[in-house]
Structure 1
C-alpha cells in the first residue's frame, strides 16, 4: 500500500488525527423545520457559521491540479474487473514524488522537460501479503500514472527519453511493440513477469508498470494494450488547466472544503491528505474492494470529495444517496463496532474501533451524518471530541445550505 490507514480515503474519507476534548458553546444559525435548532448543539469550539475559502492555489498550483487529475486516471477495476483490490491513489506533485513511479535515473528527464504534476492509481487482483508493500508474486497488479508537462512537445520528448533511460538501467531489458498503440514505448526483461510502458498524449505521459504471475511477453503486452485503452478513454474526459493559469486555480471551487468541520480555518493551505478536493475516482482507488466501491459511487451519483484534517464532505445525488453512501461505507469500515450517536443529530451514526483494530493506524472513533446532498464524516481519538465534531458538522451543513 502507498498509504497508512490514517491517510487512506478508503477507511473513512478522513486523514490525520485531531484529538483534544473541547468545551461546548452555542452557535449561530436559523433552525429549519423538522431539524433541531443548531444553536443549541454541543459543538465545542468548532466553527459552524457559513464560510468560504476564496484563495487561489498560488505556489501550490501543481498540487491542486494534481488533485483535479484524480478524474484523469482510470481506477484499476475499470481496466479489468479482476483488479478489484485498491492499492491506493495519490497526487504526484513534484519530480521527487514522480520517482516513486519511474526509475530514479529518470530525474534529469523529468526536470529537463519541466514536469508539472500528476496522479497515480494502483490496483491488484489480491491484497498485498501481510506486512508487505508489494504485490504477491502470483498477483496481477497495475500502476497507472499520468504525468503532466507544459505542452505536447515536452510530453512527446519526455516519453521517449523516459523509455531510453529506463531501458538503459539493465542490459537485459528489451523493447516490445504494441500493434494497437504503435506510438507507445514498451519494454520488459525476459523471464521477469513485469512490463513498463510510456505513451505521450497531448501534454500528458501515461506511465504503466504491470506485473503478471508469469513472464509471457505476449500476455504482458496484451495487458499494456488493455490498460492504455482504458487510460486514454478516461484521460479524454479530463480538461486540464492551462499551464499559465495553475496559480489561479481556486482551492475550493465547489465550496465543499468550506462545509467541512476543521479545528482552525486560519492558515489552511492545499494538502493532498488534509485539505483537498478530489473526484470520486480517488475514493475508488483507495478501497480494499474497488468493485464494490465503484458500484457505491455510481449508485449514489457521487460528484466530489473534500478531505480536511480528520474529516470529509462528499456531495452525491440527493439525501437518499447520502444515506446509501453512509451505509455502504459503514458496511466496509473494518474493525469497528457501532457506538450510539448524539441523539439530537438526525440520521447520524458512529463507530468505535474494536480490539481487532490498530489504534496506532486507525482512528478510535468515527461518525457520519447525511444532510441533503451531502455526507459528512468526522474522526477523532477522543469520544467527547468526535461527538462535538459530528454535532458541529451537522450545524455547519445546516448553516451553509
Structure 2
C-alpha cells in the first residue's frame, strides 16, 4: 500500500496557542449565519483570494493531478477489489520506477516521459505491518504514463516490454486476442503478469497478481483491466505537452478556498497543493466500495488538498453534510471532541489509541458551507480550533 505522509508547516498564530485570540476578518454576514468578522481566526488569511500563477516547471504535478480523472479505480475493474492501496501522481522518472522495473529508466529517458498517475487496489487488505499484498490476494496496479507524442508512446510501450521481459530468462510472452497491440509477459509458475499498451500519448502499464499461476486467468484479468481503463481514458483530454507549463495551478478555485499558513509560499505539490478528480478521493480510501458509493451519492466534482487540509466541492449543501458524515464514519482511528460553538456545522475529532501520530495529525476538524466541505488538521487542539474557524470564515467570504 502507498504509505501516507504527514506534512507539517510551522504556523505563526495570532497570540499564544494556549489562548485563541482574535484577528480582524473581512466580510459581511448573511442572514442566518454568524458574522465572521467577529470570529477568532488568528493570522490565517480569510479574505476572498485567487491564485493566478501557472505551473511553470511543476507542470508534471498539475497535469499528473489532472490525470487522476483518467485512471480507473480498482473497484471499477472488478467489484471484488474493494481494498484501496493508494493513488499518486508519478511526476518524474524516479517515482515511475516504483511501479515499473528499474531497467526501464533508459526507456523513460529516451522517450521523454512527461508525467503519470497510478491507482492500486486488491481484494483484501495488506497484512498488518506489510506494504505488499498477501500471496493469496488479487492485486492490481494500473499506471498511466504520459509521453510527448503518440509516436513516442508507441515506441515506449514496445521498449518497456523488451527490457522488462529481459529481466529474467524465464520470462515468457503472452498475447491477448482482445487487445492484440498489448504486450504481455509472465514467468511460468509465478502468479503475476505485466502488460503495456500504447494509446495516443499514453502507455497503460499493468501489474496484476492472482492467487494461482494460470496464464489464461492472468490474461483474462489484463483484458478486464484494459477494457475498464480504456473506457475511462476515452473521457480524458490531455494537455498538449508544450502547454503543460502554462496550466493554472488552481483550475477549480478550490485551493484558494483552503486555509493555509502562507499563501505566497504555495506551489504545486501532490500532497500539499493540488486539485484532483473525484477518482483520487476514492483511491485514497481503505474501503473503495464505501468511498465510491459516498462520492457517487454526494456528486463530488473536485477535491483539493493543501498541507494538513482539503476542500471538496459536491452537489449541494445536503450532499456536503452527507460527505462529511461519511468521512467521519470511516475515520475509525479518530474519536469526536467538542467543536467551536460559533462555527456552524463544524465537527472535530481526536486521534485515538488505534491511530499513529507519525502518519496522522492528532486533531482533525470538518466544516460544510453551501456545496463545500473543508477539513483542517493540526497536532494541537487550540490550533485546530482556530484553523477550522478561519476555514469557515474563508468559505463565507469566498462565496
1:58, 1:247 within 8 Å by CA — same for their partners in 2? yes
> 5+ unaligned residues in a row in structure 2: which ranges?
16-21
Name which of 50, 72, 75 aligns with 1:74.
72
Q: Deviations for 1:128-183, whole angstroms, at most 9, x for unmatched residues?
A: 11111110000000000000000100000000000000000000000001011011
* SS of aligned partner of 2:364: strand
Aligned equivalents of 2:14, 2:65: Cα separation in 1? 32
2:183, 2:197 within 8 Å by CA — same for their partners in 1? yes
Match of 2:82 in 1: 84
Number of matched pairs: 393
* SS of aligned partner of 1:157: helix
1:17, 1:363 within 8 Å by CA — same for their partners in 2? no
Q: What RMSD over aligned residues (CA atoms) do the two structures have, in Å?
A: 1.1
Residue 360 of structure 1, CA deviation: 2.1
1:20, 1:385 within 8 Å by CA — same for their partners in 2? no
Residue 22 of structure 1, CA deviation: 4.3
Aligned equivalents of 2:8, 2:70: Cα separation in 1? 26
Match of 2:247 in 1: 249
Matched, 1:3 2:38: no
* SS of aligned partner of 1:391: helix
1:344-355 residue pairs with structure 2 within 5 A?
344-355=342-353
Match of 2:276 in 1: 278
Match of 1:211 in 2: 209
Q: TM-score, normalised by structure 1?
A: 0.96
Match of 2:147 in 1: 149
Aligned equivalents of 2:8, 2:371: Cα separation in 1? 25
Residue 16 of structure 1, CA deviation: 4.2
Aligned equivalents of 2:262, 2:93: Cα separation in 1? 31
1:17, 1:380 within 8 Å by CA — same for their partners in 2? no
Aligned equivalents of 1:158, 1:314: Cα separation in 2? 36
Which segment is superposed worse, 356-365 or 79-88?
356-365
1:59-138 residue pairs with structure 2 within 5 A?
59-138=57-136
1:320-359 residue pairs with structure 2 within 5 A?
320-359=318-357
Match of 2:162 in 1: 164
Aligned equivalents of 1:330, 1:337: Cα separation in 2? 9
Match of 2:257 in 1: 259
CA separation of 1:369 and 1:18: change in aligned 2, threshold 3 A? farther
Residue 356 of structure 1, CA deviation: 2.3
Aligned equivalents of 1:78, 1:193: Cα separation in 2? 22
Q: Deviations for 1:184-240, whole angstroms, at most 9, x for unmatched residues?
A: 000000000000000000000000000000100000000000000001000111000
Residue 17 of structure 1, CA deviation: 6.1
Residue 355 of structure 1, CA deviation: 2.0
* SS of aligned partner of 1:266: helix
Residue 25 of structure 1, CA deviation: 1.3
1:326, 1:375 within 8 Å by CA — same for their partners in 2? yes
Name which of 160, 178, 186 aligns with 1:180.
178
Aligned equivalents of 2:282, 2:11: Cα separation in 1? 28
Aligned equivalents of 1:372, 1:337: Cα separation in 2? 25
1:311, 1:379 within 8 Å by CA — same for their partners in 2? yes
* SS of aligned partner of 1:253: coil
Residue 362 of structure 1, CA deviation: 1.4
Q: Deviations for 1:9-42, whole angstroms, at most 9, x for unmatched residues?
A: xxxxxx5466676433121111111000001111
Match of 1:197 in 2: 195
Matched, 1:390 2:388: yes
2:12, 2:43 within 8 Å by CA — same for their partners in 1? no
Q: Deviations for 1:64-100, whole angstroms, at most 9, x for unmatched residues?
A: 1000000000000000000010000000011111111
* SS of aligned partner of 2:32: coil
2:378, 2:384 within 8 Å by CA — same for their partners in 1? yes
Q: TM-score, normalised by structure 2?
A: 0.97
Aligned equivalents of 2:43, 2:299: Cα separation in 1? 33
2:9, 2:261 within 8 Å by CA — same for their partners in 1? no
Residue 61 of structure 1, CA deviation: 0.9
Aligned equivalents of 1:228, 1:77: Cα separation in 2? 14
* SS of aligned partner of 2:353: coil
> 5+ unaligned residues in a row in structure 1: which ranges?
7-14
Q: Deviations for 1:292-315, whole angstroms, at most 9, x for unmatched residues?
A: 100000010001111001101000
Match of 1:311 in 2: 309
Match of 1:140 in 2: 138
